[in-house]
Amino acid sequence: MPFDNLSVDAGGPIARIAVDRPERLNALNAATLAELDAAFATLDADPAVRVIVLRGAGDKAFVAGADITEIREQSPIEARAFSRRGQALMSRIHDLETPVIAAINGYALGGGLELALACHLRIAADSAKLGLPEIKLGLMPGFGGSQRLARLIGPARALEMMLGGDPISASTALEFGIVNHVVSSEQLDGAVTERAQALAAAAPEAVRGILQAVRQGLDGPLDAGLALETARFAVCCATEDMKEGTSAFLDKRAPSFSGR
């Protein structure tokens, strides 16, 4: 997959995508959004890929936001299309059957935080800064941040972040529940790889079922979520991986899941 704005390594069960525009702090322009969409669609369709890791190139930024030089020249109609394109990408990531880990290695601001919020797990370096500063530009979040952040941490803290516009530290993001873990910058790659390897070794049908049950269950009534959980639980019980997992538990050995 040749890309101008991404680096993609898909040589195994753990695929890695890096937004590679370090001269722009990995800012998201229209071309980068299109490339990310294509990369995630391709990797999610590859049965050999069990986990996707997303990060920013360099050591300063995960993604520092949308590309302001491009936004500044947009008409309202173009801005609406840009917002919809960004939201479509975030929804694609959120809806993937393959788990995505965001390795937040620096600034995750504006569209960068919205990109991280669309991922399933987020691990941040202790030097990372996260925020939705659009209000300081006379703007508001346009890639789903106003909705995903409020659903994740509640409206009070989400409004404080969006109306104030000031970035928060990685430790505060952990306290708020935005990220799952915070580690030192030196430990970030190792911590992300360790989590990715654990997910890659898990039973794929169980992973897919958990992702769907949580994603769709939170969007509807409890009864519907419980019904979905039961259906996916039953599917898991029809797999060879379930037989392997339960046998390994009883035999007191590590399971070896085949994806069947």
Catalytic residues: 114, 134
The Cα angle at residue 202 between residues 177 and 232, in degrees rounded to 5: 80
